[in-house]
A = this chain, B = another copy of it.
Amino acid sequence: MDTDSAVGQSAKRRARGGAAARRASRGGGGPGLQKPFIKRNIRTYEVLDEEGLTLIENNADTILEEIGVEFRDDSEALELWREAGADIRGERVHFPKRLCRSLLETAPPVFTQFARNPERSVQIGGDATVFAPVYGPPFVRDLEGNRRYATIEDFQNFVKLAYMAPSIHHSGGTVCEPVDIPVNKRHLDMVYSHIRYSDKPFMGSVTAPERAEDSVEMCKILFGESFVDENCVLINLINANSPMVFDETMLGAAKVYARNNQACIISPFILAGAMSPVTVAGTLTQILVEVLAGAAFTQLIRPGAPVVFGTFAASISMQSGAPTFGTPEPSLVSYGAAQLARRSGLPFRTGGSLCGSKVPDAQAAHESAATLNMTLLAGTNFALHSAGWLEGGLVSSYEKFMIDQDQLGMMQKFAAGVDLSENAQALDAIREVGPGSHYLGCAHTQANFETAFYASALTDNNSFEQWQIEGEKRIENRANEACRQWLQSYQPPDLDPGVDDGLNAFIAHKKESMPDAFT
Contacts and interface: CB of A to CB of B under 8 A. Distances in A.
Interface residues of A, number: 164
A426 B318 contact: no
A436 B277 contact: no
B436 A245 contact: yes
Contacts of A184: none
B452 A273 contact: yes
A330 to B, nearest CB: 9
Interface stretch (A131-139, A226-234, A491-499): A131-139
A77 interface: no
A472 to B, nearest CB: 7
B47 A46 contact: no
Interface string A24-49: 11000000000000000011011110
Interface string A246-261: 0001000000000000
A409 B349 CA distance: 27
Contact of A453 (B25, B55, B273, B418): B273
B2 A207 contact: yes
A318 B19 contact: no
Interface stretch (A67-75, A105-113, A509-517): A67-75
A344 interface: no
A121 interface: no
Contacts of A244: 434-436
Interface string A394-408: 100000100100010
A280 B419 contact: yes
A357 interface: yes
A16 B322 contact: no
A322 B244 CA distance: 53
A411 B286 CA distance: 25
Q: Which of A5, A436, A452, A459 has the most CB of B within 10 A?
A: A5
B427 A63 contact: yes
A15 interface: yes
A439 B275 contact: yes
Interface stretch (A78-86, A358-366, A480-488): A358-366
A455 interface: yes
Interface stretch (A95-103, A155-163, A216-224, A369-377): A369-377
A392 interface: yes
Interface stretch (A235-243, A299-307, A500-508): A235-243
A417 B47 contact: yes
28 contacts: A1-B136, A3-B174, A5-B394, A7-B269, A8-B393, A11-B271, A12-B316, A12-B322, A24-B319, A25-B318, A43-B47, A47-B418, A245-B435, A277-B439, A279-B424, A280-B418, A281-B426, A282-B424, A282-B425, A315-B452, A318-B449, A327-B410, A327-B454, A361-B474, A363-B474, A365-B366, A366-B407, A369-B373
